[in-house]
Amino acid sequence: MREHAPCRLRALGMVNALGALSDEIWQGLLAGDQSRLTWRDDLVPGRSLLVGEVRSPLPEIPSALRRYRCRNNALSLAVLLGLEAELAAIIAEVGRGRVGVVMGTSTSGVSDAEAALCHNAAHGVLAPGFDYPQLEFGGAAGFVAAYLGSEGPVYTLSTACSSGARALASARSLLALGVCDAVVAGATDTLCGLTTNGFCALQAVSDELPNPMSANRKGLTLGEGSAILLVTREEGGIQLEGVGESSEAHHMSAPDPAGGGAENAMREALRDAGLTPADIAYVNLHGTGTPLNDAMESAAVVRVFGEQVPASSTKALVGHTLGAAGAMEAGFCWMMLARASDGQIALLPHAWDGRRDPALARLRLVDKGERARVEGRVHLLTNSFGFGGNNCVLVLGGELPC
């Protein structure tokens, strides 16, 4: 193991299409449950699309913070309420000035801005209650800090689909530098017309159930949600052990077809964690279900790990939650470690039709009910690859109870 400052992922909160309670989400993951995906016909004119919409009731933003009222921040608040005791305890322990906030997003409050502009077109004024902080990227972290009353560094990252992973990487840096003693880090993104129409223009959205790594894959399914973690400079528990980042800048939207940037990020994450490929018990794939991503990622994973490492994509269950995806999928890995018992870890199944694409490098995709027996410490790796070649790979690790 490489020696570096500890970075404990002390607590996790999450909401997505599978639900808002950790047990509900966990059971949906293990079951490979795609039934929570729903149809929307109001996002793209003349087209009905399957999406990972959050249908759990969302809390009201307090009146004192009404300038932040939007669906994106309501998703964040739903998660913060579930972490309230842990967050209050850390603020009391280290002080408000030593608690930072780093959030990722790619849409922020765009859906509320769309509604405000529609109201303006009909009535000549923006919708009542609309305020700029609902829309700006900075509002994602600004709201969380304002709600918590934290006074440490506050900023939002937006590197497309790797935003949430980079938020956790940034949290680790703030702790290692001694700037903070704790960081509230994660990401939130919301379904909106702007993003959905953009992906449709790229011909990247499927009209069917998402089918990553299949010969029949036809694109991604968009989703929304929030995942927030409390990150501290403590030993023990579940640790963020390694971070690998690369920026290949191959194309504005398409990945390097050879997967060079993805491979570099995975190898750097392993190096940073002081691990070898053989130490990784499971890989959470970026796994969008688009022809280009799946081709480059499968090739890169096989070059780094070979064909035997268990791997799966969870986007087929909750949709591609865009800027939230990196934090969401790190959260899924956190759940795997937190719920391990008897020297075994439940592997997340790969939901697809089972039809392998002979043109793809052959991954060992996880079946339902699979468990891995691991002695001592177990390490999981999760991939996040964003537009413009913004790649971020995280390694999480924890000691399994015997």
Q: What is the set of active-site residues?
A: 161, 286, 320
The 8-15 sheet, strands edge to edge: 154-157, 99-104, 182-189, 225-232, 8-15, 239-247, 390-399, 377-386, 280-284, 310-312, 364-365
The Cα 159–Cα 22 span in angstroms is 27
> In the numeric block, which tokens belong to residue 180?
């903070």
Query: H helices within 245-339, ranges in order?
Result: 260-273, 291-305, 315-318, 325-338
Q: Using alpha carbons only, what angle is made at residue 227 by residues 236 and 101, rounded to the nearest 5 degrees?
A: 75
CB 71 within 8 A of CB 56: no
Of the candidates 317, 315, 327, the residue with the CA atom closest to the CA atom of residue 288: 315
The Cα 374–Cα 76 span in angstroms is 34
Residues in CB range of 176: below 8 A, 6 or more apart: 4, 5, 7, 233
- Crossing angle of helices 71-82 and 138-148, rounded to 10°: 40
CB 322 within 8 A of CB 250: no
CB 323 within 8 A of CB 160: yes
